[in-house]
Structure 1
Amino acid sequence: MDILYNSEGVPLMMSSDTAFYDTKVDRTASDERRRVLFPYDDTRHDYIVVGEERVLAWGRDNLFPTKAAEIVRTTTVLNTGLRFLRNLTMGQGIFACRVKGYNDKGDEILEPIDDNNIQRFVSSRIVRRYMEKTLRDFLKVGCSAVQLVPNAAGNSIIGLNTINSEHFRFTEPSDALGSQNCVVSGSWDLSPSSYTVLPLLNDYSPENHAELLRFMGKLKQGMVYPVRDSWSNDDIYGEPIWWPAYVAGWVDIAHLVPQFLKKAYKNQTTWKWHVQIPYSYWDKKFPAADFKNNPELRKAAINKYMDEIERNLLGAQNAEKPIFTNYAVNEMNGRIEEEWKITPLSNKYSAGQENLVTSAAANSEILFALMVNPNVLGAGMPGGSYAGNQGGSNIREAFLVNIANSWIDRQNLLDPLQLYLQLNGVPDDVQLRYRNTILTTLDTGAGTSHQLS
């Protein structure tokens, strides 16, 4: 409690000693925040000389993967939406088979491979780890680099290792065929002193490029298979699927709304009580004559007393604060009285619901950018422009659409695995397919069914 006294020790004005506001003004424009990641001309790349390699910078300061991962990590719906896409794309794993033909509906007739070594490989932790980490970088930053690890003799491939996107960069094309290398280092925030250079397989025909490297005896050092989406027209790194939602500002809004609500609930000045105290009260409660030798003791006694009164009137977490004033004459009858007047005050703050609607709209816009129907994640809004039916049929249909849209991403994910099998002598007719769990209605007698794709 902070009390203002006059020269005679009479309290004049009182205020709570609890801070009402804790607001930090961010003076950085939103455009400047967006520039941190990519320059406006996204087709232009700066170069970093590493040994004999001219490495193409990945975003401004060459730190896009690190900063993009931080944005995803700190944005609830973006982190959850990308994790959903990763799990959906992986399905329930893969299996090896041969395509024996097609039925009258155009569906493939699949025959399982009876080679235990192949089936053991596709269901192994190596493949599961490869798929999980490759999708992580593909979805978060738009590009992933898969190292095909050879044996000591360099005549076969024994493993797949997804290089963390924070550690690899690509060089500029060195010839008309677009030949590139992948430089791996753990210190891209500085000038790398320790690094490894691996050949990057050509996008046009990675299979023929790998065979050429084997013919030239360069398979021993391994090679890198890039996994990226060409939609952005950036042939080097690509862009993540969520990037348009960030540029448009929806990711910023998704951050700002909870920050605002947190500060509002923590620091809003919700005046709950108006307490009016007559001046004559202090003369009887703490007579000035009792403290004539030390007026400061009277002030301390009044402070302690008012702190106790305030604590009795505060709400949970000090959110509902009283305001204290003094008066000398009753305004109704002109008489001097000593009664305290405690009047409840109405709370005029009502912006919470509007902010929640804004937050829900930002969440929906981010999920739209990911091509995820918000209803699948239970994010449908009860009314307005983003209203949607969250019934079972709507969720099932949205889930099926997501699976259909994941086809191209799944094929991009399978390409390094197909090359792995090819380089190890597995026949070309051996194909890889996904297992899916499909939601069904209760009238089918089961909650789910399993399909192959």
Structure 2
Amino acid sequence: MKQLLFSSAGHLAYSPGTGSIVRLNGAFSAAAGGGSAGSSGNAATQDGAAPSSPVEKGQSGDVALWGEANDFPQQVLKSLESNTILPSVLEWKTRAVYGGGVVYGRVTGFDKAGNELFERVRLPDVEAFFRRSNIPRYAYEGLQNLFTFGQSYPELILSLNRQKLTTLTTQDTAFCRYSVPKAGQAVPELVHISANWPEAKPGDEFTTSVPVLDPYYEPVEALKADTRGFKYVYPLALPSPGKALYQLASWNSIRRSGWLDVAQAIPEFKAAMFRNQLSIKYLIETDERYWKWKYPDWDTKVTEQRRQIIGDELADFEKTMTGAAGAGKSILSVSVQDPRTGESVSAFKVTAIDDKVKSGLHIEDSQEASSHIYTSLSVDPTLVGISPGKGMGAGSGSDKRIAFNNFISTHRFHQDLILEPLYLVRDYNGWPAELEFRFLNPLAQTADVSKSNTSTATGGQSDDAEPA
């Protein structure tokens, strides 16, 4: 039997034979007789059991399918590409929550309101890691994955001697699939990465399989005990009720509700109208008696002669009614008398044709569909521009300022999730334990607030504070 590799704390072990991480659930501390042995030495501080990890049964093979055809992310992207609101608003959310980017420092205390006082610092090792990993790109792409798919797949790379984590990057969520989870596994063993789903296959030349770390239970110790390679995926996800493996972004409800289909159907319908409608502005009706009155020999004229006369009359009418040259002209209304009855008969009757396109057909439907899309994205329309419809308006400056600040204040968890792997790097690499990571968020201020107080490192500070 191959020897197990134990973590320094004795909580975990790695089995080279099965490639599994084993949770010891306090076994070392229990055998230590109340704390005389083991690295931590006190059974009272050891976990008596590992956290529960529900696993959905019924899947087999090498890949856990994401959607019935394993192409759910690709279907989502198709929906995004066909809508005018979703892509730009998802990008706006990413830019807004990213703000001024990721910074690091120390919490030196708290003000009277309980808001933390954040002091930025510069440490050579951290600076080198940020540059090598291109942390701004990591953070932006990670947020983009979270907002689009509800999950992100950061990838951590170890040094050759396994003493340091040297790089943090992130994979495109649409290119990632888990291996099929097994009963008792906290997380699937692997993430398969390919740009060719759903046709991709684990083991082919275009697919890379990377071991997965459990983000919920001592990932630093697990990584120290793990010898499956030099790179690992640390999965991040927004909680989605009832989803055991792949999470579902909340905005996806708009795809299943039918409102996204309505929003898409309206421009398709209008485009068809523009392509196919007859350009008719007026209906002109003439009385047959007019022609007999104007042309006494009308009854003796052949069809071609009559067609020529009518065409000439219509051409004269169009010169009067159309174009800028016709603006302000008068129309002579001709009446003739029926010789039999003595009745006065109008020679011409002109009726304007109602133009449904110009009258704003389906604008209300478009506005309602747009409202549902913005609601699903949890974005106030005033933040990204006017809302389609007759009642267009971008909102006041005060509305925008309040909406923006409320938006930022409700996305702390998203930021914390993206920063989570950096804490793993901090602890694994031996950086100062008090080192904290934050997003620098500019907040909208009123005009009378000093321009120097326009941003805050997310961490509970007041709106008009900035890192010292």
Q: TM-score, normalised by structure 1?
A: 0.71
Aligned with 1:263 (options 237, 260, 272): 272
Distance 2:319 2:247 in 1: 60
| Contact 2:153 2:171 (C-alpha < 8 Å) held by counterparts | yes
1:213 corresponds in structure 2 to 223
Identity of aligned residues (%): 21
What amino acid maps onto 1:71 in structure 2?
Answer: S
Q: Whose helix proportion is higher, 1 or 2?
A: 1
2:243 corresponds in structure 1 to 234
> Closer, same or farther in 2 for the Cα pair 1:109/1:124, shift >3 Å?
farther
Structure 1 position 107 matched with structure 2 position 115: yes
What amino acid maps onto 1:142 in structure 2?
Answer: G
Structure 1 position 274 matched with structure 2 position 286: no
Distance 1:272 1:217 in 2: 78
**How many residues get paired?**
383
> Closer, same or farther in 2 for the Cα pair 1:270/1:429, shift >3 Å?
same
Structure 1 position 245 matched with structure 2 position 239: no
Distance 1:391 1:165 in 2: 37
Alignment of 1:44-55 (within 5 A): 47=59, 49=61, 53=62, 55=63
Distance 1:380 1:289 in 2: 56
| Contact 2:386 2:393 (C-alpha < 8 Å) held by counterparts | no
| Contact 2:164 2:428 (C-alpha < 8 Å) held by counterparts | yes
| Contact 1:440 1:447 (C-alpha < 8 Å) held by counterparts | no
| Contact 1:48 1:56 (C-alpha < 8 Å) held by counterparts | yes
Alignment of 1:143-292 (within 5 A): 143-180=151-188, 181-190=190-199, 192=201, 193-194=204-205, 195-205=207-217, 207-208=219-220, 211-220=221-230, 222-269=231-278, 271-275=280-284
Alignment of 1:320-335 (within 5 A): none
> Closer, same or farther in 2 for the Cα pair 1:305/1:142, shift >3 Å?
farther
| Contact 2:60 2:180 (C-alpha < 8 Å) held by counterparts | no
Distance 1:228 1:217 in 2: 25
> Closer, same or farther in 2 for the Cα pair 1:248/1:333, shift >3 Å?
farther
* Shift in Å, 1:86: 0.7
Aligned with 1:369 (options 368, 376, 382): 376
1:347 corresponds in structure 2 to 354
> Closer, same or farther in 2 for the Cα pair 1:136/1:444, shift >3 Å?
closer
Distance 2:183 2:445 in 1: 53
What amino acid maps onto 1:227 in structure 2?
Answer: L
1:38 corresponds in structure 2 to none
1:397 corresponds in structure 2 to 402
Name the stretch that deviates more: 273-282 or 194-203.
Answer: 273-282
Backbone CA RMSD of aligned residues: 4.2
Deviation sequence 1:59-97 (CA, Å, 0-9, x none): 121111111012122212211221121112111112111
SS of residue paired to 1:390: coil
| Contact 1:182 1:200 (C-alpha < 8 Å) held by counterparts | yes
Deviation sequence 1:226-255 (CA, Å, 0-9, x none): 121113331311001211122222212221
Structure 1 position 358 matched with structure 2 position 365: yes
What amino acid maps onto 2:105 in structure 1?
Answer: C
Distance 2:359 2:56 in 1: 43
Structure 1 position 415 matched with structure 2 position 415: no
Deviation sequence 1:132-178 (CA, Å, 0-9, x none): 22222221122221111233444322222322223210123224242
SS of residue paired to 1:56: coil
* Shift in Å, 1:276: 5.2
Structure 1 position 133 matched with structure 2 position 141: yes
Distance 1:313 1:202 in 2: 80
Distance 2:303 2:457 in 1: 93
Distance 1:231 1:289 in 2: 76
| Contact 1:414 1:432 (C-alpha < 8 Å) held by counterparts | yes
Structure 1 position 433 matched with structure 2 position 443: no
> Closer, same or farther in 2 for the Cα pair 1:448/1:341, shift >3 Å?
farther
Distance 2:395 2:209 in 1: 50
Distance 2:96 2:125 in 1: 26
| Contact 1:170 1:182 (C-alpha < 8 Å) held by counterparts | yes
| Contact 1:438 1:449 (C-alpha < 8 Å) held by counterparts | yes
* Shift in Å, 1:256: 1.8
Q: Whose strand proportion is higher, 1 or 2?
A: 1
Deviation sequence 1:297-343 (CA, Å, 0-9, x none): x99x99x9999999989989xxxxxxxxxxxxx895679xxx99573
2:455 corresponds in structure 1 to 450
Distance 2:56 2:347 in 1: 72
Aligned with 1:87 (options 84, 91, 95): 95
2:34 corresponds in structure 1 to none
Q: TM-score, normalised by structure 2?
A: 0.69
2:105 corresponds in structure 1 to 97
2:79 corresponds in structure 1 to 71
Distance 2:427 2:442 in 1: 29
> Closer, same or farther in 2 for the Cα pair 1:48/1:350, shift >3 Å?
same
Distance 2:116 2:210 in 1: 38
* Shift in Å, 1:48: 6.0
Deviation sequence 1:24-50 (CA, Å, 0-9, x none): xxxxxxxxxxxxxxxxxxx9787462x
Gaps of 5+ in 2: 1-54, 324-335, 459-468
Deviation sequence 1:112-148 (CA, Å, 0-9, x none): 2231442464477711111122222221122221111
Distance 1:214 1:314 in 2: 85
| Contact 1:94 1:122 (C-alpha < 8 Å) held by counterparts | no
